[in-house]
Structure 1
C-alpha cells in the first residue's frame, strides 16, 4: 500500500504539491504521510511571476484567504497579456500591440464570433475589442473586481502576478502548520535505485535515509531523481524554441502611488522579448533571449535601458536554461513535477499552471497500492506529453506569425524546419477555415480556442471565410452580439475601481467569503 509520499525539493512546485496532497488526504480521512525535504542553500528561481485563472480554484481548494494571499505574496491582479511590437517593428515613438485576454463576453464554443469579425461585420476594430471589454479595463488600469465582490470571484476573469519566493513560503506555512506535512531541511547526497529501476530511498549528506512508497521530484533543472538517478532522458527542443537565457531585475516604483499594470506586458526585441510584471511594491522585469544572437553583457544593458530609471544599484539575476521535457514524467515510483519535468520559456506563464495540472491529476488518480503504478504511469505520461507539446506549439505560434525581420532571431524562427508539423498544418487549414471547437477536442488542451483566436487575429492572421458559412440569421445574431460588447464596455469600466486603490484597500479590508 502507498502510505508514505516524499517530495524532494521545495519552491512553488514542491510546496504546492505537498499542500494539495496533504489537504486531500486530510479531507478524505486518509493516514498517508506527506514529507518534503529541501535544501537550505537553494533559493527559489522565481522567474515566472505570472499565473493563469486556474490558480484561484487551487487557492480556494487549499482554504487560503484571497486577501491574505494578495497581501502576503506582494500579489496583484492579472487580466491577460499585452504583446508590444510582436506583430512587427513599430515606428519610432509608436507601439503596435495586441492583447490576449481572460474574458470574452461570449463562449466561442456556443457561438463563434471570429468568422464574422474576419468578414468585417464588427467594423475596423481589433479582434480583442470586438469580443471583450477587458482590453479597455486594462488600458485604464482598472481592477477586475470590487472590494465587495466575494473572494475568488470577479466581474472580469483574472489571475495574479506574484512574488514566487513569498508564494512558496505561504504554501510552506499552510502545509506544515495546517496540513501536518513533515518538513526536513537537508541536502541530498545519494539516491538509491533498486535493480528493477525504482527508487529505494534518498540519503541526505548527513547519512539519513528517507524511505517512501512514492517519490516526487521537485528538484528543478537538476532533476536529481528522475533524471540523474533513474536516467530518464531529456528531450531537447532548442531547435523549435530558441531562447535559452534570461536576465532579470526587481525594480521599485518611483513613488508609492505609481499605477500597477493589471496585465503582463511582453515587448519584443530583435533577439527575444522583455517581460514587465507589476507587483504591489515593485516591477519584475526580465529579458528572455538566445545567447546565439546577443551576449550576456548586451542583454543586461538592454534590460537596464528598458527599465526607464537608473538601475545601477540593482543587481541583475542571470539564468540559463534548456527548453524541453523528460521523455517520461512518471517512471516506476517517481513523478517529476515542475522544472524537473520540463521547462518552456515563460511567454504565456504556463509553468505554475502545469504544476497545478500535474498535482490535480496526481490527486485524482492517486494510487492506493504500488500495483496500480504501471497503469497510472501510462495515463500520466500520455496526458502530459500532450500538454507540453501543445504548450510548445502555442508559444512557437507567436514567433511564426510575427512579421518582424529586424534580427536573425526572428528570421530563424520562421524557418520551416523549426516549426512543428502539426502547427504548420493547423495554420494552413485556418487560412480558409475558421477555428472550430473540433480543433480542440481534448479536455486537456492547455490553451483553448479563445487563446488561439486572441493571438492569431491579434498578430494579423487572416482567415478567408466562405460566405456560405455566414447565414443571414447567424449574421444578424453576430451583429447583435458585437453591439452587446460595446453596450457593456462603458458600464464595466464604471463599476470597477482603480487597480492600486483596490490593492491598498485590502490592507484594511477583506473580500467577503461566499
Structure 2
C-alpha cells in the first residue's frame, strides 16, 4: 500500500494532482499522507487560462463547488475556440457540442456535396449561440451540469491558490521550502527530497511538478527529452493582462479567440475582471522585442503602460514519464503548445491515472510504470497530431513562418497518410482507434472542414441537421454569460 506521497512543486500541476490523489484516497479509505513541497521563491508560470470540458469532471471529483471555482478563479464559461486567419481572411469554430451521429448518418458526406454552408454552423448549436454570448447553462441546473458541454477560462494562479487552501483543509501537508538536492539510491530510486529547512522527506512515491526544470525526473533521475520542434515550430510566447479598468470589451466572450499571425498565433481570453492575451511564435522567425511590439500594436494604445511577460518553452516530452518511484506531471513531463488548451488536461489525465494506479504500483511497480508510460506517450502523440493538423493544412504561404509550418517535412508521418485520405472524404470513426481520446472524429471534422481541406463527394442530396429549433429554444431559456456570472457573484456575496 502506498502510505506516503511527496509532491514537489505547486501551481496548477501540483495542487490539481494533490487534490485528486487526496480525494481518491479518502474515498477509498486509504490513510495516505500527501505532502506538497512548494518553493516560496519560484513563481508559477500561470498562463493556463483555457481548459477543455473534462475540467468539470476533475473539479467535481476533487469536491470543489462550481460556484467556488467561478468566484475564486474569476472563471468564465468557454464553449468553443474561434479561429481567425488560419486560412487568410477566413474564420471557423471548434465547438464543444457534439452532434448526434447514428451509424447510418451520412449528413457530413451530404454536406460536403453542397459546401456553400459553413460546417460549424451546420453541425453545432454552440457556434451559433456564441455570437449572442449565450451561456451553456442556466442558474437552475446543478453544478458542473449544463445544456451543452462547456469548459472555463480562468486565472490559473488563483485556481492553484484556491486548491491549495482547499487541500490543506482536507489534510494535505504543505511545506514552503526549497529543495536543495535529491538523494537517489544505487538502484535508481529516490530515497529522500532534502530541503533548506533541514528536512529529508521520504515517501513511497514522488511526483515531480517542478515545471520546465523537472528537478526530480529530469534532474535527479536524468530522463532526457524527445523533441517535437520539427512539427510544432512555436517555442516562445509574450503575454499580457488587460484589466477592465484599463480597457473592457463590449461583452465577455464565451470562446477563446485564436488569431493566426505572421510568425504564429495569438490568443484572446476573457475572464471576469480582465482579459489575457498572448502571442505564441517561433523564435526562428521573430525575436522577443518584435513579438512584444506586434502584440502591443494589435491590442492598441491602452496597453502601452502594461507589463508584458516573455515565456520560453520547448515542445517535447520526457522519454519516460514514470521512472522507479517518481512520476512527472505537467511541464516537468512535457509540453506541446497552448493551442487547443491541452496543458491543464494533461495534468488532469496524469493525476487521475496515478490515483487509479496506486494499488497497482504497490503490487507491481515496474509493470505500473511501463503501462503508465505507454498510455502517456500515446496521449502526447495524439495531441501532437491534432495540433500539427492546424498548421500543415493551412493555405497560408505569405510569411517565412507559414512556409515552414506547412512544408512537407513538418507533417507527422502518421498524419500524412490520413491527410491523403481526408482530401477525398471526411474522417470516420475508424480513423481514430482507442476508446478515450481528447480529440477524435468530431474535432477533426471541425478543423478539416473549417479550413476547407476536404474536397468531398461531387454529388449528393442536402441533408444537414436542422438546428433552428434548438438554437431558438436555447436563446430563449439560457442567460447571457455576464448575466449568469452576475447571479453567481450575488449568490456568493449573500452566502459570505
Q: Could you state the TM-score of these two structures normalised by the residue count of structure 2?
A: 0.95
Say whether residues 1:456 and 2:456 are aligned partners.
no
Correspondent of 2:200 among 201, 204, 209: 209
Q: For the residues of structure 2 that align with 1:321 and 1:347, how far apart are their CA atoms?
A: 13
Contact preservation (8 Å) 1:251, 1:307: no
Write the deviation string for residues 367-413 of structure 1: whole angstroms up to 9, x where unpaired.
36544111111111110101101111110110111111121111101
Distance 2:411 2:256 in 1: 26
CA distance in 1, matches of 2:488, 2:104: 37
Q: How does 1:5-404 map to 2 (within 5 A)?
A: 5-88=5-88, 90=89, 96-107=90-101, 111=105, 113-120=107-114, 124-177=116-169, 179-253=170-244, 258-367=250-359, 370-404=362-396
In structure 1, the gaps of 5 or more residues are 91-95
Q: Does 1:492 align with 2:483?
A: no
- CA positional deviation for 1:304: 1.0
Matched residue SS, 2:491: coil
Q: Distance in 1 between matches of 2:376 and 2:19?
A: 21
Q: CA deviation at 1:434?
A: 2.8
Shift of residue 160, structure 1, vs aligned partner: 0.1
3-state SS of paired residue (1:7): strand
Task: Return 162-171 or 441-450, whichever deviates more.
Answer: 441-450
Establish whether residue 482 from structure 1 lines up as the match of residue 465 from structure 2: yes
Please say if residues 392 and 410 of structure 2, whose CA atoms lie closer than 8 Å, have aligned partners that are also in contact: no
Q: Which sits farther off after the overlay, 320-329 or 456-465?
A: 456-465
Deviations 1:259-308 (A, max 9, x none): 10110000110101100000000000000001111111111011112223
Assess, with a 3 A threshold, how the Cα gap between structure 1 residues 283 and 109 changes in structure 2: closer, same or farther. farther
| Corresponding residue number in structure 2 for 1:505 | 487
Shift of 1:258: 3.9
For 1:197, what is the secondary structure of its paired residue? coil
Contact 2:321–2:327 under 8 Å retained in 1: yes
- Count of aligned residue pairs for this structure pair: 491
Task: Pick closer, same or farther for the CA change 1:463–1:384 going to 2, 3 Å.
Answer: farther
1:412 counterpart residue number: 404
Q: Distance in 1 between matches of 2:224 and 2:365?
A: 20
SS in structure 2 of the partner of residue 12 of structure 1: helix
What secondary structure, in the 3-state scheme, does the structure 2 residue paired with 1:507 have?
helix
Tell me the secondary structure at the aligned position of residue 509 of structure 1.
helix
**Does the 8 Å CA contact 1:52/1:350 hold for their aligned counterparts?**
yes
Task: Give the Å deviation of 1:2.
Answer: 2.1
Q: Which is worse superposed, 456-465 or 340-349? A: 456-465
CA-to-partner distance for each residue in 1:182-222, whole Å, 9 max, x for gaps? 11111011011111111111101233101011000000000
Q: Is the 8 A contact 1:383 1:444 kept in 2?
A: no
**1:106–1:131: 8 Å Cα contact kept in structure 2?**
no
Gaps (5+ residues) in structure 2? none
- The farther-off stretch of 361-370 and 312-321 is 361-370
Task: Provide the rounded CA distance (Å) in 2 between the counterparts of 1:349 and 1:211.
Answer: 35
Aligned 1:431-450 pairs, distance under 5 A: 431-450=423-442
Aligned to 1:403, the other structure's residue is in SS state coil
Please identify, of 316-325 and 492-501, the stretch whose mean Cα deviation from structure 2 is larger.
492-501
SS of 2:174's equivalent?
Answer: strand
Instruction: Decide whether aligned partners of structure 1 residues 181 and 252 sit closer, same or farther in structure 2, where only a CA change above 3 A counts.
Output: same
Mapped contact 1:270–1:410 kept (Cα < 8 A)? yes
1:74-118 CA distances to partner (integer Å, 9 max, x unpaired)?
Answer: 100000100011122x2xxxxx21000001332476735321211
Instruction: Name whichever of 231-240 and 439-448 sits farther off.
Output: 439-448
Contact kept? 1:44, 1:165, Cα under 8 Å: yes
- After superposition, the Cα gap between the structure-2 partners of 1:216 and 1:117, relative to the gap in structure 1 and judged at 3 Å, is same
- Please give the alpha-carbon distance, in whole angstroms, between the structure 2 residues aligned to 1:324 and 1:161: 25
TM-score by length of 1: 0.92
| Distance (Å, rounded) in 2 between the aligned partners of 1:105 and 1:435 | 15
Larger CA deviation: 108-117 vs 257-266: 108-117
CA distance in 1: counterparts of 2:106 and 2:327, whole angstroms: 39
Render the CA deviation track for 1:154-184: whole Å, top value 9, x for unaligned: 112110000000000111111110x201111
Q: Distance in 2 between matches of 1:10 and 1:216?
A: 11
